[in-house]
Amino acid sequence: MKLIDISSHSDLISHLKDTKSAYLLLYKKGSDQSDCAKSNLESVKVENKKMVVMAADVSKVRDIHGNYGVTSAPTLLEFENEKFKNNIKGCQEMNFYKSYFENIIFETNTNSEGKPAKRVTVYTTPSCTWCTTIKTFLRKNGIRFTEINVASNESAAQDMVRKSGQQGVPQTEINGEMIIGFDQAKLNRLLEIKPK
């Protein structure tokens, strides 16, 4: 993926014009975490040609992060219809970025019923059997989700604990609400799945 270099906040605003989904990586060149995030992001192959992905080095561009409450780099900012929507801190694995972008594209291309799409993230570890159970449940019900392996992603693990107060997995985040373990009744309710 080719990242568009951004030189200022006004440059960012001009690139956001008429875009449905856009992303900006704020990074600090020479920092291990930032170089990791930039490299992994550049390695992602995305089919959606309308999606705009940009990058700005905070050691050169100083007027962006303050506008969005960003205090650390790397941070990936997400914009939808020219408005700031979300941010993801730290270096993520290439597969995380890919599934994140695909999930966003899926959300924007679905929902013929006019209901807002659910954003679903499952925090897992490779040895967790309940993690496999929850992923199977979601796939069986046609729910798209992003999986984050917290065993290999310390910043995501810290973020998960900050949100839920719990360290165990699986944990599922649905539109900002955390579910600890495999609580099928709560999953059904939040995802509007009718039990068969």
Instruction: Give the phi and the psi of residue 39 in degrees, each rounded to 5.
Output: -60, -45
Side-chain-facing half-sphere of 40: CA atoms under 13 Å? 21
Please give the pLDDT value at position 37: 92
Ranges of H-type helices in the chain: 9-16, 32-42, 94-109, 129-140, 154-164, 184-191
Q: CA separation (Å) from 170 to 68, 107, 167?
A: 30, 23, 9
Closest by Cα among 43, 49, 60 to 21: 49
Question: What's the rounded Cα separation, in Å, for the pair 8 and 14?
Answer: 10
Residue 160: is it exposed, middle or buried by C-beta count within 10 angstroms (0-12/13-18/19+)? Answer: buried
Which segments of 19-82 are extended strands (E)?
21-27, 52-57, 75-80
pLDDT for 140: 85
What the chain holds in terms of domains, given with CATH numbers, is: 4-94 (3.40.30.10), 118-191 (3.40.30.10)
pLDDT of residue 107: 46
Characterize the bridge pairing of strands 177-180 and 21-27. unpaired
Residue 109 pLDDT: 42
At 70 the pLDDT is 87
- pLDDT per residue, tens digit, the chain (196 aa), is 789 999 999 999 999 998 888 899 999 999 999 999 999 999 887 766 678 899 999 999 999 988 888 889 999 998 888 888 878 888 888 877 877 776 654 444 444 455 566 889 999 998 999 999 998 898 888 888 888 999 988 888 999 999 999 999 999 999 889 999 999 999 999 998 887 6
